[in-house]
Amino acid sequence: MPTDNVLVSTRGLCKRFKTRVANGKGWQKKTVNAVADVSLDIVAGETLALVGESGCGKTTLGRMLSLFYQPSEGDLAIKGEDVAGLKPKQVKPLRRHVQMIFQDPVSSLNPRHTVEAILTEPLKFFSSDNAQQRREKAVELLEAVGLPERSLRKYPHEFSGGQRQRIVIARALILHPAFVVADEPVSALDVSVQSQILNLLKDLREQFNLTYLFISHDLAVVHHLADRVAVMYLGRIVEVGERDSLFQNPRHPYTQALLSSVPGVVPNKGKIGKILHGDPPSPISPPHGCPFHPRCPLAQDRCRQSMPVLEAADSNGAHQVACHFQEQAAGPAVIKEVVQL
């Protein structure tokens, strides 16, 4: 468990949404438990990848950490400052330290604004720079993301998908944030440009001293970029550890099933099917006990009765797993090769 130089820290973080569902006679109010009891530390300078199936709560957690959503419960600290219960006015000055890169560059950029207007807008709110200084900073960021100065005069539709994502990245970095949440930043792009954007994100991390939460469902991409990996299932972290430790020795049956879908990675477990059957349960009515038990080939009575908590799976506690039977589930994955991006 990281303890030094922690930039972002959560303890028991939860996010619930109210919703209405049809029950045959009308509508019934329900609560969606999108994120439940997440405790994580993100160390300055690292890339923590957050992986899991669609709808598991990755984006909701990312939006809480980037201060878009207020937590329903729990603690959230950024740079040691408690931000969980702050009012919108108090959150605003903190936004310059935390930025988000969204999945879809088309909807992230205002089509009626030039690139110059898009890049300099945050500086109008968060700096005392004059127009010339704002322009210079915009040019500097364009260069950093590999776009020429003449891009300032153009509109988003004049760029390719990869170039638009470079503009999104430039806008996220113009205030020199410490922490960036990148939510599936390459999944909307052609495969041919994905590797360019991933390498750019890697380079910018060094250049701007960034810390990333990298949200993805693509484990090959995660292997390329992450220092540590957290696996999420039905709103909860079920396994977290150093990238190589988690890829080579996945302890949670869900992680093993996810890894078995990556080309070249074959978890060495006969019990764990290569394909995960069934859909995740609804976060409106999560199953009692371990949320994975309806799909887990190792499930026993204890799994249906009590919720496993994250526990150390190695001697220094860097690798943690939430499974009652992690010893039975443990086994080295055989990594033949991981797709090189």
Among 63, 134, 223, 293, binds ligand SF4 (CB under 6 A): 293
Order of strands, sheet of 47-51, starting from the edge strand that comes earlier in the sequence? 98-101, 179-183, 211-216, 47-51, 228-233, 236-242, 320-321, 311-312
The token duo for 171 is 């806008």
Closest to 177 in 3D by CA, of 96, 100, 78, 101: 96
With beta carbons less than 8 A apart as the criterion, state whether 154 and 205 touch: no
The span of 4-12, 101-109, 263-271, 295-303 binding ligand SF4 (CB under 6 A) equals: 295-303
The span from the CA of 101 to the CA of 112, in Å, is 20
The span from the CA of 229 to the CA of 219, in Å, is 10
Nearer residue to ligand SF4 within complex by CB, 237 or 323 = 323
The span of 26-34, 46-54, 163-171, 323-331 binding ligand SF4 (CB under 6 A) equals: 323-331
Nearer residue to ligand SF4 within complex by CB, 38 or 298 = 298
Nearer residue to ligand SF4 within complex by CB, 253 or 267 = 253
- In this structure, the dihedral spanned by the alpha carbons of residues 258, 260, 262 and 263, taken in order and rounded to 10 degrees, is -170
| Residue 274 phi, psi (nearest 5) | -75, -25
* Residue 193 is a binding residue for ligand SF4 (CB under 6 A): no
Among 308, 310, 319, 333, binds ligand SF4 (CB under 6 A): 308
The span of 11-19, 36-44, 218-226, 290-298 binding ligand SF4 (CB under 6 A) equals: 290-298
* Least distance between ligand SF4 and beta carbon 260 (Å): 15
Closest to 66 in 3D by CA, of 42, 33, 99, 112: 99
The span of 32-40, 144-152, 171-179, 320-328 binding ligand SF4 (CB under 6 A) equals: 320-328
The token duo for 92 is 């605003």
Among 51, 56, 215, 296, binds ligand SF4 (CB under 6 A): 296
* Least distance between ligand SF4 and beta carbon 159 (Å): 45
With beta carbons less than 8 A apart as the criterion, state whether 129 and 192 touch: no
* Residue 56 is a binding residue for ligand SF4 (CB under 6 A): no
Residues 229-288 that bind ligand SF4 (CB under 6 A): 252-253
Among 292, 310, 313, 320, binds ligand SF4 (CB under 6 A): 292
The SS3 assignment for 261 reads coil
The token duo for 121 is 């807008």
Residues 206-225 that bind ligand SF4 (CB under 6 A): none
Among 325, 330, 339, 341, binds ligand SF4 (CB under 6 A): 325
The span of 70-78, 113-121, 293-301, 333-341 binding ligand SF4 (CB under 6 A) equals: 293-301
Among 48, 215, 303, 310, binds ligand SF4 (CB under 6 A): 303
The token duo for 13 is 């973080």
The count of chain residues that interact with ligand SF4, using the rule CB under 6 A, is 13
The span of 35-43, 65-73, 123-131, 319-327 binding ligand SF4 (CB under 6 A) equals: 319-327
With beta carbons less than 8 A apart as the criterion, state whether 183 and 215 touch: yes
Nearer residue to ligand SF4 within complex by CB, 45 or 297 = 297
| Residue 284 phi, psi (nearest 5) | -75, -40
Q: How many CB atoms lie within 10 A of CB 149?
A: 13
The span from the CA of 270 to the CA of 30, in Å, is 39
* Residue 142 is a binding residue for ligand SF4 (CB under 6 A): no
* Residue 162 is a binding residue for ligand SF4 (CB under 6 A): no
| Residue 213 phi, psi (nearest 5) | -105, 115
Binding site for ligand SF4 (CB under 6 A): 252-253, 290, 292-293, 296, 298-299, 303, 308, 323-325
